[in-house]
Amino acid sequence: MTPLQISVLKALENRNGSYISGEQLAGELEVSRTAVMKAVHSLRNQGYCISSVRRLGYKLDRTPDQLNAETIRGLLMHSGFNVDVQAYKTIDSTNNEGKRLAHNLKKPLLLLAEEQTMGRGRQGHSFYSPASTGLYMTIVVPSSLPLETIALCTQAMAVAAYRAVTASGGPELSIKWVNDLYLGEKKTAGILTEAVTDLETMRATAVVCGIGLNLTTLQFPDDIMNKAGSIGALDRNSLAVGITTHFLALFKELPDTSGWLKTYKERSLVLHKKLSFSMNGNEYQAVGKEIDDQGRLIVELEDGSETTLSSGEISIIPSFS
């Protein structure tokens, strides 16, 4: 997508479904009306439904539902982020592909898929990824950050997704430490962060951070039917751009968490809630007390002592009145 096409698209989006004349567009963008007409023609060829009425001008009726790498790359560049983008119709896992492509990267890489056949979550869990009803994406960033800092990418991605969904007109999501996003009592998104390391130096060479979001998925497998939910219909190309820009901005600041930790805490589902978790083969119940600057969860055990969780899986114990 050319800079002019991006500018025309942005101008049409800003009209919120009303018409804008070709003359006004040309004047705002300081180009000829013929250039505007050619840009609109190109956008239509990319799947954008743009109506035109004599003496009224152009109106954006609908954006394409299909993920478009060219569109996303252009929008990212327009936002000041130089990112390679690849979109797949079907793939085993965007994180798997990210690890396959992570070596010798010179700049960030965004991978997206209409469908995942082996979508992955933390601790060996799978992530149901049916065709065209979700956003399944992985951001790969060249990095030599220490592993303890890379672990913060999961929380940063959660905040990036929350902000992007809200900015796109979606509902306000909550965050279940450490890697899930919820709408009400239903899980709507999961995050998986991995590191690619150099075996000689045992240092990270790239961060692979993936997220899967249920948008319009209605049917889920029986084992998650009562646990999974969907966010709602959002423009997937714009949402992918929003998540990527927010995440890369937060990633640039790591290990400083001051730019997002307050949001992470405010949206937390687990603070001041009764929780259960396993540690060293034992089961515990506790109350979520705090999330520290390293994104770790501090809990108070039943005997009044405190312990800090760096990773793992926790469950929220329902309260009954």
Q: Hey, what CATH topology would domain 69-266 get?
A: BirA Bifunctional Protein; domain 2 (3.30.930)
Q: State how far Cα 203 lies from the chain centre.
A: 26
Return d(Cα 189, Cα 229) in angstroms, integer: 9
- DSSP symbol at 224: G
**H or E segment at 189?**
strand 186-198
Return d(Cα 87, Cα 150) in angstroms, integer: 25
Return d(Cα 310, Cα 321) in angstroms, integer: 32
Return d(Cα 13, Cα 169) in angstroms, integer: 13
Return d(Cα 178, Cα 83) in angstroms, integer: 27
Distance in Å from the first CA to the final CA of the chain: 56
Return the pLDDT at 109. 98
At 74, list the tokens: 């252009």
Identify the burial level of 108 via C-beta atoms within 10 angstroms of its C-beta, where 0-12 means exposed, 13-18 middle and 19 or more buried: buried
Domain map of the chain by residue range? Answer: 3-62, 69-266, 274-316
Q: Under the phi-then-psi rule, with left for phi > 0, alpha for psi from -120 to 50, and beta for the rest, what region is 213?
A: beta
| CATH number of the structural domain 274-316 | 2.30.30.100
Confirm if 240 and 110 have CB atoms less than 8 A apart.
yes
CATH 1.10.3720.10, applies to 3-62: no
Q: How far is CA 238 from CA 13, 66, 93, 220, in A?
A: 11, 11, 21, 25
Closest CA to 113 of 92, 84, 142, 140: 92
Q: pTM score, two decimals? A: 0.82
pLDDT tens across the length of the chain (321 residues):
788 988 898 899 888 889 999 999 999 999 999 999 999 998 888 778 899 998 899 999 877 678 999 889 999 998 999 999 999 999 999 999 999 999 889 999 999 999 999 998 776 778 999 988 999 999 999 998 888 899 999 999 999 999 999 999 999 999 999 899 999 999 999 999 999 987 777 778 999 999 999 999 988 999 899 999 999 999 999 999 999 999 999 999 999 999 899 999 999 999 999 999 988 888 999 999 999 999 999 999 999 999 999 888 889 998 744
Task: Reduce the DSSP state of residue 250 to 3 states and report it.
Answer: helix
Q: Which residue has the tokens 């899980």?
A: 187
Closest CA to 88 of 55, 113, 108, 122: 113
Task: Reduce the DSSP state of residue 149 to 3 states and report it.
Answer: helix
Confirm if 112 and 86 have CB atoms less than 8 A apart.
yes
